[in-house]
Structure 1
C-alpha cells in the first residue's frame, strides 16, 4: 500500500515542502534523539508522501522499512472504541447504560475525597460509571504515570494492563476494587477506561478481544500484521523501543528479541494499549475512519456512527475540564469524541489543523489523525518512550499543513 505514492502536486502538496518532513525526521535521527521514524500522508485515499529514516534496531543496524512492526500502545484505543460501537449499532447497549449492568464489580464505587492523602480516604460515588464515561475518559479512572495518590496506587499495584499481567477479565476485577479519582462524568482524565471498554466488547460479543478484533476489524480491513503481540516468525521485522539515557542519547527499553510483546508471552489483551502493527496496516484503519466507516471490501460502521464518534462529546474543550496540556500538546481549543481528540478551534490550540480533525497517539511517540476538511490522513511512527519528551506532534502538524498548497 505504501509503494503506490502519487505525484504530490496532483494531490495538492508541494514536493519541495514535503521534503521538510524528511529533513525533520533525519535531524532527530542524526541528533541521536530517535532511532528511526516514518511518516505517511494520504489525501483522498491516495498517498502523497511515505518516507522512513533511520533504524528500527540500532544494535542490529536494521533499517526502518515499510514493513517494520511497532508498538502502537494507546493508538489501540480508537480500535477498541470502534469495536464497541459496532456492537452499539446492533442495539446491544446504550451509551448511558451503567457499566455495572455488565460488570457487577463496578457497583457501589468509592471516590477519593478532595485532598485525600491515602487510598483509604474515600466516600461513595455520587453517580454510576456509564459506557459513555468510559469512551470519553470521564469515568474517574487514571493511569499509574499520572501524579497523585491514586496514580501512585495504580503504579504500586501494576494496574497497567501489561501484556504479561493477568487476563483482561482478572485485571478488570482488580481494577473494580480500587477507588475512583472523581465522580464519573464530572471531569476528564486519561486512564484505563478503554481497557474496561475492551472487556465490555468481550462480554457483549461473547468473544475474547483478540478474536473479536481479528474477525470484525483486522480481517475485513486486511490488517495482516496487526495483533496483540509479535509471532516468532515476524520478530525479524519488529522494532526495538528506546528512551532517553543519562547522556542525552537513547537507550534500549524493550529489545525486539526479548520484548514483553512476544506473542507466546501475551496473556492480557489490552484494549487501551496492546496492539502491534505496521504503518500500512494502521493506515487502513485510519482510512476507514476518513471514509466514515467504509473500506474497499465493505463497511465496518455506518457513516453517521463515525460522525457521532468524531464529534466533540464534551461541554467545551478539554482545558475546561482541567486538562490544559497532555503529552506536550495543548488541549485548549481541543475536545474529545469517542476514542480520540476532536479539534475545535486550531487558532486557540495554537496548532495547525482543521475543525473536526480526529485522532490519537501512543506512548512510543506514535500519532495519527484524520482531517475531514482536507480529506487527509496522517500517520507518524517511531519507537521512543515517553511521547511527551519531544514536541514531535506539534512540529509534525506544522510540517504537514505547510506542505499543502492547494
Structure 2
C-alpha cells in the first residue's frame, strides 16, 4: 500500500492497516477463516489490498490476489443487471406479469394447507410481476429456510440447488405445480426469484442465460475469470470451501471443516442447472470491475452497461410503502444483511435509515453477499467500494461484515462529495 496515495484519497493509512491487522488476528490466526481477501476502493484508486491466509488448507496453498472464489449470491446483482439491460431495451418491463413469459404460472395460488399432491391454495391478490422477482416479493422461497411445507417441497424437489442434475427449465416447470408462500408484494422472502430472472434473460434475449452474461457483461467489462465453472487450467487458483455450525464443525473452538475440495468440486464442470441466484465463481479483480461499473452509474472504461437513471432506480428501496426487510419478512428472516435500517431495491439491499443500522455508513449505499462469506458494498456518497472474499459457510457464522464496515468507515478522514453536499 502506498501511504501517500491512501492519505490523499481521504483515508488514514494507519486505520486502513488496522483493517488488515484485525482480520489477521481475529480470523486468520484463530483458524476461524482459512483465508481472507479484503479490498477497498476510494476516489478512483484501490487504497487497501489485503491477502491473508490460505486458499486450500489441506494442500497448504496460500491465498493469492487472483484466487477464484465461489461467490454464491453475489451472482444475484449480476443477474439483476442483465435483466435491467433488457428493460432498457424495452424487451421486458418491470410491471409485466411473470406469466406473460411463463404461461404455466398464470394460475399460481397461495398456500393455505396440505403438502405436495395435497396442497390447498387460494388465489393471489394480484399477479406476480417482474419487479417482484427483483425485490424478493414474489412469494417464492428457498428450501433451506425450513419453515413451511412449501420450503419442504422445494427441498424434496431440490429446487434452487446448484448441485442438482436438473436444468433451469425443469425448475421453472416444477414451480408451476407448487403454491406461493404469500400473495406477491405482501412480504419479503429470500428465494429462487433471481434464478427465475436468469430464465427470463434467456427467454427474452433469445440466447442462453450464461451466454448473455459472457457476451454482454463479462467480456465487455474484462471479467476474465467469472463463469459458472472453473476450467482445468484455472483449478490451481480455485479455493477450497469450508463450513461451520450445522454445515460443518460445531464447536466455536474448532476450525471449519472442508466442505468442497477444489480438485473434486462440482464447479469443475459446466452445471446442468445454471443458477442466476448463486452459481458464479469470480475473483477480486473481476468483481471489483463489476462494482466499479455500479459506482460509476453503469459505465466503466468506456463500456456502458446501464444508464445512471437505471442504476438509481435499481438502488432505491422498492419494498412497498418504503418498508425495511426486517418489517416485511415475518416468514424468513434470512438475509445477507443482519441489521435493521435496510430496504431492498432491484437486486441489492440498500440502506434506507442509516442511523438505525447502528454502524457507520451512508444512506443509499447498496450491497449484498454470498453464502460462503463473500460480501461487497458500494457507497456513492463516499465514492467507496468495499469487498471481502473468503470461503466459509454459512455467511452468518461470524459478524465480519459488520466489523469490516465499521473498520473501513472509521478509516475515512475526509467526507465524500455526496456527504459534504448533504451536510
TM-score (norm 2): 0.91
Partner of 1:365: 373
**Aligned to 1:228, what secondary structure does the other structure show?**
coil
Gaps of 5+ in 1: none
Write out per-residue CA displacement over residues 76-113 of structure 1, whole angstroms, 9 at most, x where no aligned residue: 00000000000000111211110110111211002112
Partner of 1:341: 349
Distance 1:93 1:246, change over 3 A: closer
- Which deviates more from structure 2 when the two are superposed, residues 378-387 or residues 142-151? 142-151
Partner of 2:418: none
Partner of 1:263: 269
**Aligned to 2:311, what secondary structure does the other structure show?**
helix
- The answer to whether the Cα contact below 8 Å between 2:115 and 2:153 also exists between their aligned partners in 1 is no
Q: 1:16 aligns with which of 14, 17, 36?
A: 14
User: What is the RMSD of the two structures over their aligned residues, measured on CA atoms?
Assistant: 1.7
- 5 Å-filtered alignment, 1:172-187, equals 172-187=172-187
Distance 1:200 1:190, change over 3 A: same
Q: 1:7 aligns with which of 5, 13, 36?
A: 5
- The answer to whether the Cα contact below 8 Å between 2:3 and 2:13 also exists between their aligned partners in 1 is no
CA distance, structure 1, for counterparts of residue 4 and residue 282 of structure 2: 24
Distance 1:13 1:321, change over 3 A: same
CA distance, structure 2, for counterparts of residue 225 and residue 89 of structure 1: 27
Distance 1:293 1:5, change over 3 A: farther
- The answer to whether the Cα contact below 8 Å between 2:336 and 2:370 also exists between their aligned partners in 1 is no
Higher helix share: 2
1:281 corresponds to 2:277? no
Q: 1:306 aligns with which of 305, 311, 322?
A: 311
Write out per-residue CA displacement over residues 222-246 of structure 1, whole angstroms, 9 at most, x where no aligned residue: 0000001101111100001001214
Partner of 1:66: 65
- The answer to whether the Cα contact below 8 Å between 2:158 and 2:164 also exists between their aligned partners in 1 is no
Q: 2:115 aligns with which of 94, 114, 118?
A: 118
1:375 corresponds to 2:383? yes
**Aligned to 2:51, what secondary structure does the other structure show?**
strand
Distance 1:302 1:329, change over 3 A: closer
Distance 1:289 1:400, change over 3 A: same
- The answer to whether the Cα contact below 8 Å between 2:34 and 2:53 also exists between their aligned partners in 1 is yes
Per-residue deviation at 1:25? 1.6
- The answer to whether the Cα contact below 8 Å between 1:220 and 1:297 also exists between their aligned partners in 2 is no
**Equivalent residue pairs, number:** 401
CA distance, structure 1, for counterparts of residue 39 and residue 376 of structure 2: 9
**Aligned to 2:236, what secondary structure does the other structure show?**
helix
Per-residue deviation at 1:118? 3.5
**Aligned to 2:266, what secondary structure does the other structure show?**
coil
Q: 1:293 aligns with which of 270, 286, 298?
A: 298
Distance 1:102 1:242, change over 3 A: same
1:209 corresponds to 2:209? yes
CA distance, structure 2, for counterparts of residue 396 and residue 329 of structure 1: 13
Gaps of 5+ in 2: 415-423
